[in-house]
Structure 1
Amino acid sequence: MSLIEVKHLRKTFETDVRRTGRFATIRSLIKPEKREMVAVEDISFSIEKGESVAYLGPNGAGKSTTIKMLTGILEPSGGSIEVAGLIPHKSRKMSSYQIGVVFGQRSQLLFDLPVKDSYDLLRYMYSISWEQYHRNLREFAEVLEVEHLLNRPVRTLSLGQRMRCEILASLLHEPDILFLDEPTIGLDVVAKERIRAFIEKINREKGVTLLLTTHDMHDIERLCHRTMIIDKGRLIYDGSLQHIRDHYATERQIKATFEDTKLAEAAASLFIGFNVHTLVEERMLKISYDQHHIDTSTLLKHLLEHTQPRDLTMQDENIDALISRIYREGISGSPQEPQHELEGVVVSS
């Protein structure tokens, strides 16, 4: 059986519809109108022990809502969830011993107290033995380079320092699963690299299962072997990042450098009528195109038959641009409506 099993998961929220006009308040009291907001709709997936999975989507797609249901914070409106053999919202206490959670924009550390005081409290809450507690604290503090921060109040830490301490806190009780909700948000390059290296280490050496939500593509490329993409509450892709590159990275760019700007502009004029986009920047001509619509060899042959560029390079679509395009156009490449935070329908009660 999988470590995490999700079947036909659904989550809706009900909010009041604000009315306007004369006696609006009275009418709302007598006959309130409600709006059902669909945050997650019919999601199914399973995650095996030791997997590292990225869970991607634009803002408001339902990523954090899914994480909150997986951790027992929210109860699903429909479908089923099992995490380490438990139903999270029904067994929150028992489930908490199996999971660790890091929310990039929320803290589990006590703001005005030294970091170690929070760790001591967590030791008590999770019934961690003194031997296990000191062993894990010493090992993780050394790897994360936070030994010198343990006696400092949390409020005096930088964001990068606090995030490293947050990750340590989530692992003191040796959970089987670690949920990471944007753990590197707002961090500098050095802090991000330290956190990525540590997360990679615990996944590889300790077999901790990872589910990561992030907007940072470097996190995904470094840490995750599998990628799930959610859009408007629905799971639209579940597979490898390489598969996305191989099957959806259709945009490519040819860059040709010439002796001067006039030659670059003359070369650009050669492609009028072609299904490409050209841009001249000083002495460089950039030719952007979709490989499904025109062959690279056709463009290169036409360019080299009529010009003599000093330098010629080709560049595939990078993963950031590719994922952004998938959010915008959909996994099939067909345009979609602009993203909304939540879909909604009005219902009366």
Structure 2
Amino acid sequence: MTTLTPDASVRVRDLRKQYVVHEKEPGFLGSLKGFVNRKTRAVEAVRGVSFDLAPGEVVGFLGPNGAGKTTTLKMLSGLLHPSGGEVRVAGFEPRRREAAFLKSITLVMGQKQQLLWDLPALDSFLVNQAIYEIPDMQYRETMREFTDVLDLGGILKKQVRKLSLGERMKCELAAALLHRPRVLFLDEPTIGLDVNMQESVRAFIRDYNERYGATVILTSHYMADVTALARRILVIDQGQLVFDGDLARLAGQARGGKTIRLQLRQPVTAAQLAHYGSDIRVDGLSAELTVPRAEVSARAARLLADLDVADLTVEDPPIEAVMAELFGRKEIVSG
């Protein structure tokens, strides 16, 4: 096992996970054939993933459905054993599931729950206090912090079944972080929540990271979660890491262009803007167009010289579009 260096909270080397799945032909005859001569094939869910995370680092872990994100998080938390490779988290080997390791990490899955359905959330908190052997003074202090930041005052004594989705998710987060873990694995923590509740959850995660210096790995289909919390992005596709760098560098991997947004003093037509770029949209005195990345400065200068422009901004393409393009590639991009 590779020794954990002082500046690494999570170390992953050539991580692999292979499943054996059974195949059968359709219909009753296929079932009989499968019973007599069962066919199997190996499926590689994670293929040679490697990265290091520094203490206190917040990382967005992105990829399409089935890319291997949740499988990777489960291996990092010890719920699944790797088929190959080396993993160290907070100085521990996750597969051993030692008590000290479990007190150092947490795994929050937006589609799963740990709260007892028929009891108030407060009862589940007390159960977690006993499981993690949290001293009374620390428990009360943490509860005060979480109650204030997450506005839990009016819901702690309500049955979990009677809580709204947003209220339950806040309680789930509080329960998962009650023991003050140093490493957080967050798998779709805002899924299904409305915009206001998503922002509340993001603010809580940001506050926890700053207060306790926790390392955070976040997966989400909501790009606002990632852009609000993470400076570094890991992108996984078909079990392989295809990008490791910051958001700006990720946007720079797009082969397409950049978007120029215009606020005009005099209206223009799409035909007039066709000389400057493509994908043109005009709405009154507002317009936007796409220009080649290498020609942004020259095209912007021409627009300012030729048109009565009140304001001009240049933006990278939406991160979703960049990733959609990146998923079609197989080379590793590091930055």
TM-score (norm 2): 0.86
1:200 counterpart SS class: helix
> Which amino acid in structure 1 is aligned with residue 315 of structure 2?
D
Q: How many residues align?
A: 326
Please say if residues 258 and 317 of structure 2, whose CA atoms lie closer than 8 Å, have aligned partners that are also in contact.
no
Aligned equivalent of 1:61: 67
**1:14 equivalenced with 2:20 (yes/no):** yes
1:72 counterpart SS class: coil
For residues 287 and 55 of structure 2, the distance between their equivalents in structure 1, rounded to whole angstroms, comes to: 49
Aligned equivalent of 1:212: 218
C-alpha change, 1:287 and 1:24, in structure 2 (3 Å) is: same
Please say if residues 109 and 154 of structure 1, whose CA atoms lie closer than 8 Å, have aligned partners that are also in contact.
yes
**1:267 equivalenced with 2:272 (yes/no):** yes
Q: 1:129-208 to 2 correspondence within 5 Å?
A: 129-208=135-214
Aligned equivalent of 1:100: 106
Deviation at 1:325, TM superposition (A): 3.7
> Which amino acid in structure 2 is aligned with residue 297 of structure 1?
A
For residues 155 and 59 of structure 1, the distance between their equivalents in structure 2, rounded to whole angstroms, comes to: 29
2:113 counterpart SS class: coil
Q: 1:24-35 to 2 correspondence within 5 Å?
A: 24-35=30-41
C-alpha change, 1:299 and 1:45, in structure 2 (3 Å) is: closer
C-alpha change, 1:333 and 1:310, in structure 2 (3 Å) is: farther
Q: Using CA pairs under 8 Å that are at least 6 residues apart, name the structure with larger relative contact order, 1 or 2.
A: 1
Task: Tell me the alpha carbon deviations over residues 19-57 of structure 1, each in whole angstroms, 9 at most, x when there is no partner.
Answer: 136732222122111132221110011112211111111
Q: 1:247-262 to 2 correspondence within 5 Å?
A: 248=254, 251-255=257-261
Which blocks of at least 5 consecutive residues in structure 2 are unaligned?
none
Deviation at 1:206, TM superposition (A): 1.2
Q: Residue 248 of structure 2: which of 230, 242, 246 is its match?
A: 242
Deviation at 1:120, TM superposition (A): 1.1
C-alpha change, 1:253 and 1:241, in structure 2 (3 Å) is: closer
Please say if residues 186 and 219 of structure 2, whose CA atoms lie closer than 8 Å, have aligned partners that are also in contact.
yes
For residues 85 and 104 of structure 1, the distance between their equivalents in structure 2, rounded to whole angstroms, comes to: 26
Please say if residues 268 and 280 of structure 1, whose CA atoms lie closer than 8 Å, have aligned partners that are also in contact.
no
For residues 246 and 17 of structure 1, the distance between their equivalents in structure 2, rounded to whole angstroms, comes to: 42
Deviation at 1:266, TM superposition (A): 4.0
> Which amino acid in structure 1 is aligned with residue 72 of structure 2?
T
**1:313 equivalenced with 2:319 (yes/no):** no
C-alpha change, 1:127 and 1:243, in structure 2 (3 Å) is: same
State the identity as a percent: 34
For residues 52 and 265 of structure 1, the distance between their equivalents in structure 2, rounded to whole angstroms, comes to: 42
Aligned equivalent of 2:227: 221
Greater mean deviation of Cα atoms: 10-19 or 247-256? 247-256
Aligned equivalent of 1:287: 289
C-alpha change, 1:89 and 1:185, in structure 2 (3 Å) is: same
TM-score (norm 1): 0.83
Task: Tell me the alpha carbon deviations over residues 174-204 of structure 1, each in whole angstroms, 9 at most, x when there is no partner.
Answer: 2111111111122222222222222112211
For residues 21 and 114 of structure 1, the distance between their equivalents in structure 2, rounded to whole angstroms, comes to: 48
Which blocks of at least 5 consecutive residues in structure 1 are unaligned?
335-349
2:249 counterpart SS class: helix
2:157 counterpart SS class: coil
For residues 285 and 332 of structure 2, the distance between their equivalents in structure 1, rounded to whole angstroms, comes to: 33
Q: 1:65-144 to 2 correspondence within 5 Å?
A: 65-144=71-150
Deviation at 1:227, TM superposition (A): 1.3
